[in-house]
Structure 1
């Protein structure tokens, strides 16, 4: 099913934009620095679609529902195009399951890579002031804080990344059969 080069091309293009939209959503949820040049690039890449959606879909607290709807829409488009290229038919319920599960899967994937970059940066450049390093730190800080409330550090050794990686990997394994 996935050996078709057109399916791969559709998935790469759509998932790249989905990654950017999810990154915008996460940046807003974590209250990351809006003036970071990377944040500005993400906002510019997603604003042409998010801003008109905001006029129709109001935010709920810190949750930018317009970005969430856009992320679900991009994933739905991905599922639709993959199904169309493969020439199979699925039910509307399957579209909904593949859309929600795929969006959650890619959100977990975003956090997996952010955590990996964060761990590597803590080893090689713990005081890095690069905009990307600062952004990764702002994205992962809420996960670290939540995990550190449950699992205290052991004499300066922080085990929270291990447990966060385990949780992310477990959830990705659960969602993998339902994501495209």
Structure 2
């Protein structure tokens, strides 16, 4: 029975994470000022806008951050935690759920950035087509992270800026997201 429960939990996590990916992509694409004419950007906009448009009337953007998309991402992570706790038959404290959802969202965004920076650096190393819509969108998303280190970490023809950014993202997961997870787990358990 435990194996079936674990398999069902995995499927639930995959479904919620796929949905969260769409809204995180919208959030980061807007923050990075991705080209709207890009077909991938249009796809993301088309499938996120029906939910975000009514929320944006109440919760407008702050600078370049789409607060509506951020709220939806947080609610997706919160709902995911509620469903997983219900599946396990546990009744956590509300404060713990709220902190766990925040930790989950932060960790998700950090891992998302980590994958994008790694993929972008790998593709650019092999000379991929710079006009491909996916590569242009990824470049617009990772550019704000890489911009402060551009040209400062070059040794010969190798640019170590992506490696430094990835190490920073991994450290943020260890030093910020993991303690937040621990704190949320303690609050959820009532400790």
Give the TM-score normalised by structure 1.
Answer: 0.91
Offset, 1:156: 3.5
Quote the residue 1:61 is aligned against: 63
Offset, 1:46: 0.9
Mean CA deviation greater in 69-78 or 124-133: 124-133
Quote the residue 2:166 is aligned against: 165
Distance 1:124 1:147 in 2: 21
CA deviations 1:92-125 (Å, max 9, x no partner) are 1111111111111111111111111111111212
**Residue from 88, 91, 99 that aligns with 1:89:** 91
**Residue from 40, 45, 49 that aligns with 2:42:** 40
SS in 1 for 2:108: helix
Quote the residue 1:52 is aligned against: 54
Distance 1:116 1:162 in 2: 8
Mean CA deviation greater in 99-108 or 126-135: 126-135
Distance 1:119 1:134 in 2: 13
SS in 2 for 1:16: helix
Offset, 1:127: 4.6
Offset, 1:176: 4.2
Distance 2:25 2:148 in 1: 20
In the alignment of these two chains, the number of paired residues is 179
Question: RMSD over aligned Cα, in angstroms?
Answer: 2.1
